[in-house]
Amino acid sequence: MLNRRNRIPQQVSFSRRATNWVATAAAASAALLVLAPLFAIFGYLVYKGIGSINLEFLTHTPRPVGEAGGGMANAIVGSGLILGIASLIGIPLGMGAGVYLAEYGKDRYSDAVRFTADVLNGVPSIVIGIAVYALIVLRQGHFSAFSGGVALGIMMIPTVARTTEEMLLMVPNNIREAALGLGIPQWRSTISIALRSAASGIITGIMLAFARVAGETAPLLFTAFGNQFWSLNPNQPTAALPLQIFTYAISPFDEWHRQAWAGALVLIVLIVVSVAAVRLAARRGSVRHTA
Amino acid sequence: MGVGIEVNNLNAWFGKAQVLSDIKMSVKPNQVTAIIGPSGCGKSTYVRCLNRMHETVADAKVSGDVTVGELNIYKNGTAAVDVRRRIGMVFQKPNPFPTMSIYDNVAAGLRLNGFRNRRELDDIVERSLRLAALWDEVKDVFKKKSGASLSGGQQQRLCIARALAVQPEVLLMDEPASALDPISTGKIEELMFQLKDQFTVVIVTHNMQQAARVADWTGFFLMGKLIEFDKTQKIFTTPADKRTEDYVTGRFG
């Protein structure tokens, strides 16, 4: 940590060098402390879960109680389906609201939108689940991946909206002026200039929202519900990794406990991989700032 | 080719504060016209009224007539975006689009207005970069390198090339060299001599030497009014108004 960059010339007094050393050490250990829980969780997941992960786990549906083997393939795919629906709802609505707040809304209505988004961000996820249960599941008469996706999508909106707004506000105004001065219409400048300049920050916000809802269990309990069999129909009850982990973890069976650990590990890895993949793709699409 | 600009009864406000009153000016085609005056006299607002950029600021209002060539830009039914395509603008601080390559910066005005012909676009980008005297410095890297990676002076010439690519008839420059060092400033000034063959140039500056060097015509603004507008040589040697004389001789401002 105390590398050459921090070295101070000899003539500087001992007390100042000591202060520098202490401050640097304090900052470094704070950084370590922040990282420690993450690595502890991940390490423990690998330790408990890696043994149960095999091809069957990733490609088969659960076996009945008492039978060994089986896997969570339907839950992995189900999670993908639900998150896909959630993204289709949460990303456009969230980005639309963020664009409105940053580029157009300078009135009381936008203050109301901003406040509502902040409140929505604070609503417990289980409350959102119940609301969607009442509004969609009860009306349709059945659980479904669709209703699960709606619940998670609603949870994504405030995070996406506020990060989009904040990232757009960081784009300097003279860039917008340049676009207007070229006779580019405002809607076009918003999409091709402002959003593009803010893209990397907005993508980070979207992936943050995505990663957060990917692990949500509570809102899925009475929307997607879970399923022990394959279902790719968004109108049917659908398995999801967090639900499957929840069901297995509170069961009395050792085999299911092991599979719950494995499911948790798969969930984390999938989230990390999808976030990393999106970021890589986004980086490839932008120009470099140096030669 | 450049066209002339006829300004009549132009008034402009920010909220309730009037920043321009009753401006009348006749800008000659294919000439460089300089707008000088102390800070806050309304000279930037004035050029921003010539391509309807003034109204992009909240609370800004404008009244009067501005006719560019045959186009009355404040007539009902004239779209601001069409006006701005015919009257390009270069700003005080270089403002290239940061996420775009040099090529994309120059092509932006055409592309984002729906122009799609690749071959022609290539030609226009090269011609614009040559016109802005930037081509030789960037020709090997202009498709890969970001516009933001250039030096300040190069960035400003990139912004000029970007404005020229839309093929405007008038080029407005709002203190285009005030953020640049003397060498880059010299390059921009040299450029103006060449640009006036094809465009009408209006430049705002608070550097009087610059006005004297580059402009054929000079207008002196004070507190929102056009005090005097004449041939540059007349303004700097035998101005008609005492206030103009005081300003150009450095007695105030």
Q: pLDDT, tens digit, for every residue of B61-76?
A: 999 999 999 899 999 8
Q: Is the pLDDT of residue A264 over 90?
A: yes
Q: pLDDT grade, residue B175 (50/70/90)?
A: very high
Nearby residues of A106 by Cβ (< 8 Å), 6 or more positions away: B58
The shortest C-alpha distance from B38 to chain A (Å) reads 23
- pLDDT beyond 50 at A288: no
**Overall average pLDDT of the A220-228 stretch:** 91
Are the beta carbons of A181 and B163 separated by less than 8 Å? Answer: yes
Q: Whole-number mean pLDDT of chain A?
A: 90
8 Å CB contact of B95 and A174 = yes
Full set of structural domains in chain A with CATH: 80-240 (1.10.3720.10)
A64 compared with A144, residue with greater pLDDT: A144
The partner residues of A233 in beta bridges, in order of sequence, read none
pLDDT at A285: 62
Confidence tier at B251 by pLDDT (50, 70, 90): confident
Question: Do B91 and A181 count as a contact with CB atoms less than 8 A apart?
Answer: yes
CA angle, B173 as apex, B68 and B35 as ends, to 5°? Answer: 80
CB B66 within 8 A of CB B7: yes
Span A112-138, pLDDT tens digits: 999 999 999 999 999 999 999 999 999
Neighbours of A241 (CB within 10 A): 27
The closest alpha carbon to B145, from A286, A189, A107, belongs to A286
- Quickly state the pLDDT bin for A1 (edges 50, 70, 90): very low
Joined tokens for residue B32 = 């460089």
For chain A, percent of residues with pLDDT exceeding 70: 94
A207 in Cβ contact with A156 (< 8 Å): no
In this prediction, residue A96 carries a pLDDT of 95
Partners of residue A289 in chain B, C-beta under 8 Å = 98, 146, 148-149
Q: What is the pLDDT of residue B127?
A: 94
* Whether the Cβ atoms of residue A167 and residue A198 lie closer than 8 Å to each other: yes
pLDDT of residue A7: 61
The confidence score (pLDDT) of residue A63 equals 87
Chain A closest-CA separation from residue B43 CA (Å): 17
Model confidence pLDDT, tens digit, residues B108-121: 999 998 888 999 99
Average pLDDT over residues B205-210: 89
> Where residue B83 falls among pLDDT bands split at 50, 70, 90?
very high
Q: Nearest-CA neighbor of B136 among B115, B161, B109?
A: B161
Question: In the predicted model, is pLDDT for residue A209 greater than 90?
Answer: yes
CATH number belonging to the domain at B5-248, selected among 3.40.50.300, 3.40.50.740, 3.40.30.10, 2.40.128.690:
3.40.50.300
Choose the closest CB to A287 out of B51, B53, B100.
Answer: B100
Chain A CB within 8 Å of residue B84 CB: yes
Q: How many CB pairs under 8 A join A and B?
A: 92
Token pair 């007094």 is at which residue? A13
Q: Which pLDDT score is estimated for A10? A: 65
Helices vs. strands in chain A: H and E counts, helices first: 14, 0
- Kindly provide the ipTM of the predicted complex, given to two decimals: 0.89
Report whether pLDDT(B36) > 70: yes
Residue B23 in 3-state DSSP?
strand
Query: Treating both helix axes as pointing N-terminal to C-terminal, what angle do A241-249 and A254-284 enclose, rounded to 10 degrees?
Result: 160
